[in-house]
Each structure stands twice: as structure tokens, then as C-alpha cells.
A and B are shown apart, each in its own frame.
Chain A
Amino acid sequence: MKKEIDLMNMYADSQDDYYDDSKILPKADDPKIMKRKNRSIRWISFFFLAVFIGLIAYLVYFQAVESTRFENSSYNRRRLDLLSEKYIRGSIYSADGQRLAYTDTEGAEEVRVYPYGRMFAHVVGYSANGGSGIEGACHSKLLSCHANALYRASTVLKNEKLTGDNVYVTLRTDLQESAYNALGSNRGAVVILDVKTGAVLAMVSQPDYDPNEILANWDYYTSDDDAVESLLLNRATQGVYPPGSTFKIFSALTYLRENNCQTDGYSYDCSGSIEHDGNVIRCYNSNRHGQLDLKQSFAKSCNSSFVNIGLSIKRSDLIDICESFHFNRKLDLLLPTSTSRFLLTEDTDSYELMQTVIGQGKTLVTPVQMAMTAAAIANDGKLMKPYFIDHVETFKGVTISKTFTKSYGKVMTDEEVSVMHDLMKEVVLSGTATSLSRGNYTAAGKTGSAEFGTQGDSHSWFVGYAPAENPEIAICVLVEGAGSGAEHAVPITGKILNDYYN
């Protein structure tokens, strides 16, 4: 205590030396001086005012933009139970007006019914346990009611549940049925898009499950049992696979961009394999393709010729093209979607480059990504964002919101599109997908056989569009572990197109 007093005395002494009363304490009644004195306090007030305006602006932004994402998060289970007490969950309708999901209120308990069962399993999903698919993404739409105020007031007064709004999706039952039947029990996925809008017309994933039985089988489906084969996974959006020869679309496009779309200058003599820096890449079954131009290289899917192209192009151009097609970028679709991966850099060794340009290497793609790619070529180079919801209606049929199509931008010039059309048509006319030229439709596309593992297994791909002139739909078929594209994915595509154009 003694010391403190000393300190205080010392302080009292020192203040006498430096203290000049006239400077420090101006007359309080002089408004001019008061104003100057208060300037610092005013600045402080302004500062906090600005910070608070920032906070409020942030909250308004959060509410307007981000809150839906948080509200619909499958982790946000809190809300679903509450809303289910107030609303009868709305129905989901297909583009052709068929009911894909509805809530049956006849019995003692509400039951969610999926009339098409397994056919729409992954894309429509289920509402229980946090939900998945469109069901999981549209909780807040299905569990809200925008019908007129009179109806709402009278229902609430009667202490009854409100009928939720109905979601109309872009899926078509005819195409979905064709795709579902064509894929059959093959493990894999089919995606069909409207090339002009990006609307998802069909989406199938195998193995599947019956959403009507989801709760009964939940423990088994989510167990580690190998036999389950991750059947809850929507392979169309979440599965990532090596693209195989379908990647040659990007390699060919890079060649076109670097050579101003001049294909005359290219020719290559294929001897069934190509060697560079001591590494050898073989053609499929070591086929000798002989003398080829670019169109034939693409149509016959000649690996050697494309490695030859790959060694001549600038890596940065290939990287730019892949990134413009949304590789390594989130697609931000309604359903959970994996990001397609393209890992080539300037430092990657030449063997990996040789593999990458023919779709082996470390590149991984989702089926929906490849469907988007085909759709972009068919849509004059405009890459459209795939979407699932067409519009939302009240149960009385009044439209309350409609989806606007969104383009990721034009990723190809008109000349590039025109040459790519020719290349993809040639695949059907004389290349690896000639079986598609025998139907009452025209098609264009690219096959692929993506090797994986060490046993020489391969995934079978077809990506393309139809009709070849004036395209309407883009399609991607992937069959896991089946073999070559020509043998599996192409016939499945053929069945679907046959059904559709019959």
C-alpha cells in the first residue's frame, strides 16, 4: 500500500509539470470548441455505426442468399420434424404430369408413396432420415404452403394440417423408363439432358433400391456389407470414373483450338502402339489403324494417334479447356454432385501426359459432367447448368416459382462446334458406334473404355446426342466394369433412342 501511495504521489508531481489548464479544459459553453472536442467521439460513433450496418447487411444477405442452403442441409434435422407436424408434405410430379411421390393420408399414419418404385430411386430419392435426391433437396418447398390466405386461416383454425406445395420436376417418365429398362441390372448410370436448357430428362443409377422400403432396409443399406455396393449412392452425379476415350473430345478440341480448326494438316500412321521416352501406349486390342486423319483417329478412337496429338499440344491449352468445362470446379447442382478432376500440370511427366490425353491418367469424371459436355457441343458450344425442378405449384395449381435456365458460358467457338459435330457424327457413321446408325434416328457421340485396376477391367462409356442434325437430347451412358463402350454402352444408348424416337 505504501508503494502505491508513493506511485500516486509521483504521478501527482509529474502532472503539475506538464499540465496546462487553459489548453485542456476549454469553456464547456463554447459550442465551437465543444464540437472540435467531440470530433473524436463522433468518429468512434461513425465507426461502430459502419460496423453495425455491415453486420445488418451481412444478415440480410445471409437471409436472402445463404439461408436456404442451411435450412435444407440434411444436417438440419431440427426443422423437418417440426414442419411435418404442420404440413402434409407436397407431391412431386414429372414433366409429363405423373405423380412420382406423394403422401398417403388415408391410414392411421402418413405414408410417403413412390408409385414408380425403383425406377426413380436415386433422382427422386426419399424423404425419411434426412432425405436424399430431390426429396432431400426440397424439404422446405414441399413442407410449406403458398395457397390462399383464406384456406390457410381456416385450416389452421380447424387445427388441421396444411397441404404442402407440389414440385414439378423436369424428368420425363417415358425417357426414364426407357433408360431404366435399357440399363437393366448393369451397374452404372444414365443421364439424359435437354441440350438447349440443361433440364435433366432422365437420371438412372444402378444398383438401385425401392424408396417405399427405405426405412425397413435402412440398417442394411448403410452397413459396410460389400454386397450393398453403395446402392444409396447416385452414381450419375456422385460417382467418379476415369473417362477413357470419351476424353478425346477434349484432346481433339485442344488440337482444333491450336490449329484454327484446320484438320487438313493432320495425318498419322498407326502401327497399333506409340512409344515416347521409353513408354509405350497401345491401341485397343493393339489394333493397327493404319493411315489416319483427325476425323478417322477420333472415329476409330485410335490411342496412338491421340497420344501423338497430345505430345504436340500445349498443356496449358488442354488445362484451360478442361477448366472451362467445369473440371475442378463445383457444379453446385440441386443434388449432391462430385467435382470432376483434371490434375495435369506443366510438371506432370510425359508418361502421365500420354495416358491423360486418352482419358486414363488421373482424370476422373462424373456421368453428369460428360452429359453436360455432349450437350454443350449440341448446343452451339454453350455449357448449360443441369437442373431438376421446373416449377413449384400450390396444391390448387397456382405456380409460385419457376426455374430459370443458367448457362456456365460459351466454351467453344462456332467453328470448333462445327468440326466437333463432324467428328462425333463420324463415330456413328464409320467408327466405334456404328450400331447407332441402324435405327430410325440419327445420333452422334463418342465411345470410351476406361481401364481401371490391374486386371484389365474397364468401364464402358457412351456420350453423345440425338438427332445428329438439330440435336434435342444429350445422353451419357456408363456401365461399370463391363468392357468396351462399343459392346455395352452403345447398345444401351441404342435401346433408349429407339424407344424415344419410335
Chain B
Amino acid sequence: MVRLLTDISKYLILILFVLYTAYSFVGLKITDEQRSARTITKQRILLFAVHLIAYLVLYLNLKDISILVFYPFEVMYLLAYMKFYKLFYPGSNARLINHFCMFVAIGFICIMRLNPDKLFKQFAVIFVTSVAAFFIPAIMKKGRFLRKFTWLYAITGLGLLSAVLVLGHTTYGAKINLDISGSTFSPTEIVKLLFVFFVAGFLYEYPTLKQLLAVSVVSAAFVLLLVLSRDLGGALIFFVTYLVMLYVATKKSRYIFMGGGGFCLASFIAYHLFSHVRTRVNTWMTPFSLIRSDTSQISQSLFAISTGGLFGIGLCQGIPNTIPVVISDLVFAAICEELGLLFGLCLILLYLSCFLQISDTAKQLADPFYRLIAIGFGVEFILQALLNIGGSVKFIPLTGITLPLISYGGSSAMEIVLMFAMLQGLFILKDRR
């Protein structure tokens, strides 16, 4: 009986999620307020339905009492997130709120499925950060001063990255984390936000050559520190974000091409300089040859995806925990294994739709400082999704970037929660200059 319900549930979850994703794209085009409000309500019903069914199936299969304990708290959190923004910030973007809640809900489901012991910490981080971040839009309303601290952002950011480089400990060949009184913290995630503020502060007025040089040198320092920490995925995100912001600020496409050329050269050098880059690229090209060594993450990921097929084998029916680092880096493979590739494809589309929503917001912003921040955040968000998913399906080499709001990881969850709060702040400010 449980098996049958589990089997039916995977199709049900898929249908609900497909509908949600479809609405997210329809929503991009709707301008009529009433219709827009209706789709937003429908999306919320779909969201809670997916969450409920998944938790029901998880409970039926795992019989773990903590599932029943967490469920009401999660629902309350999601409801509160939606309601509070609506109540206190009437100008906030409900679609972005929905997407945020959907990603968070999927994240909760994944962590509960893969390792229930870790859910409390993730939930706590997201909850506390959300509460703190709730005041961000209010601060931003007051804050023309934010654009004055350009150098402070740069110095803080570079300082944190240097600290990681010097003090950080190595995981999977890269230095990413700092140990602070027993718990690990990855400052790179927060520095991503500071970096966008720094670049926006420099470029929102048409830059002179001197300024252009200054911002480029400092940005290069950010990227270089990450390369030295061997966090190549992080370095790529900073680099592309910088290029995109430069392009949007100056509207000169030649910067993109120059940057692209520089990137190819840098990749070539990195390949020949770092052994772990070579390993990653080699595993990417021939996953089977290295299957017996510990770099076989990608093979296990592909096994999981290919056996999941289009519809997956159902929640709790697979063995996703045999995939290395599944809960943080390769969570997409676990999703595809149990919920199916079609669900995974919809998830990819949802990330894309969320990005389009953010870039749409950026287009509406009159103030160039805010425009740059919005597009910078959007690019950081979508790049993380792209590098994570692309890496776990062998589209590109693995980079160790987490899947925004779904992967387990306090620092990265914190970053995205703050990012979405700031995006809401920007949206509220869209008519201001």
C-alpha cells in the first residue's frame, strides 16, 4: 500500500510542480494585477500541496517522528514569510517570494530525505536569517548612504577572503571554510553580496578610465584570492558577475569579449598549474576511467540520474546516500533519482524563471546603482544554479558550488536569504532614483 502511494505521489508531485513552473513563466508576462494575484494564489496552493505530499510520503516510508514535528514549523515559516512581506511591504514582489518559498520547501524535503539530523541546523539558519533580513528593505528605503561605502565593501570582502586563504581548512581540494568556535562558516558566500555592492558603487556613474582600472584591479584581487584558495567555482562566479556588471554599466560588449578571452587563457593556465583542476576536467571527460578512485562523484551522480529515468523511482525508493557529498553538492542527482528527470528539468526552468524575474526587476529600476545590484545578484544566483546542476550532470566540470536554497549549507543559505531580502528592497524602491 505504501509503495503504491509512493508510486502515485511521484506523478502527483511532478504534475503539481510542472504547473507551478508553468505559472512562473506565465507570471512573467502578466501585467493585469488581478490575474497576477490569482496566479500567485494558485502557485501557493501548489507549493503547499507539493510540500504536504512529499512529507506524507516521507513519513509513510521512514516512520520518523521528527518529520511530523518539522512539518508544521516549516509550513508556519513559509506562511509567515509570505504574509509578513505582504503586510509590511505592500510593494514587494510576490512572485519572487513564491519562488523563494518553493526552493526552500524543496530544500527542506531533500534534507529531510537525505539526512534528517541536519535539518534542524538548516531550518534554524534560514529562519534566523530571514527574521534579521526582514528589516533590510526598511533600511534600504532610508539608505542612499549605502553607495558611499564602496571601499569599505572592497576592504571587508578582500579581508574575509584573505582570512579564508590563510586560516581556512581544506575540503575536497579547496579552502572554503573557516572554523569559528566549532562550526564552519564560509565567508565567500557573504563576500559575494559585498562584491556586488562594491562594483555597483564604482560603476553606477559612468566610470572614467581611472575608475575602470581601479575597479578592475580590485575585482581581479577578489578573483585571485579565490583562485589561490582553489575555490575555482567561486572565482568564476565573481569574475562573470564583474564582467556582466561592467557590461551593463558601460554597455560596451567588447569588455565581455575581452573578459571571455582572458577567461580561456586563465582556464588553460589553471589546468596546467593545479592538479585538482586536471583531475576534475579529466573525470568530466571520462567518468568511467576514474570510477574506482574517490573522484567518482560524477559517475555516481550519473548512475543515480540515469536509473531515476524520466519519472524517478519515488521518494525513499532509491539510494541517493551512496552519492558522495549528495546533501550539499550533488543534491540535484538525488532529486532526479527519486523524483525524476522531468522534475529536475522543471527545477532548472524554475531557476531560469526566477532569474528572468530578477532581471525584469533590474530593468524596471530607475536608479543605476540599484539596477547594477539587481543584475549582479541575479547573475550570482543563476550562476550558482548553473554551476551546480551543470557540474552534477557532467555538462561542465564539477566546481563544488551549492544549489541555491536547496543544498545543505548554512553560509550559502544565509547568502541567498539576504540576497532575496535585498532584491525585495530593490523592488520596493523601483520607482525611486
Where the two chains meet, the residues of A that have a C-beta atom closer than 8 Å to any C-beta of B are 4, 7-8, 11, 14-15, 17-20, 23-25, 28, 34, 38-45, 48-49, 51-52, 54-56, 58-60, 62-63, 66-71, 73, 75-76, 78-79, 82, 156-157, 159
Contact = CB atoms under 8 A, between A and B. Distances in A.
A81 to B, nearest CB: 8
Contact of A55 (B305, B368, B386): B386
B382 interface: yes
A14 to B, nearest CB: 7
A44 B247 contact: yes
Given A40-B248, A41-B248, 16 more contacts: A4-B151, A7-B151, A11-B211, A14-B211, A25-B433, A28-B431, A48-B352, A52-B386, A55-B390, A62-B302, A63-B341, A70-B302, A70-B303, A71-B303, A71-B306, A78-B322
Chain B: interface size category: 35 or more
A55 B389 contact: yes
B325 interface: no
Contact of A48 (B205, B253, B319, B382): B382
B334 to A, nearest CB: 12
A8 B151 contact: yes
A70 B4 contact: no
Contact of A23 (B206, B319, B348, B356): B206
Q: Is the interface of B mostly helix, strand, loop or mixed?
A: helix
Given A76-B303, A82-B319, A28 B433 contact: yes
A17 B152 CA distance: 23
Contacts of A8: 148, 150-151
B3 A159 contact: yes
A146 to B, nearest CB: 14
B355 A40 contact: no
A62 B394 CA distance: 10
B29 interface: no
A414 to B, nearest CB: 41
A126 B352 CA distance: 46
A52 B313 CA distance: 25
Given A41-B362, A159-B3, A14 B386 contact: no
B375 A49 contact: no
9 contacts: A8-B148, A24-B205, A42-B363, A48-B355, A67-B309, A70-B303, A73-B303, A78-B304, A159-B3
Contacts of A68: 306
B348 A56 contact: yes
Contact of A38 (B152, B322, B363, B379): B363
B298 to A, nearest CB: 11
Interface in B252-271: 253
A23 to B, nearest CB: 7
Contacts of A71: 303, 306-307
A144 to B, nearest CB: 10
A52 B359 CA distance: 15
A34 B244 CA distance: 18
A20 B248 CA distance: 18
Interface in B223-259: 244, 247-248, 251, 253
B288 A82 contact: no
A102 to B, nearest CB: 24
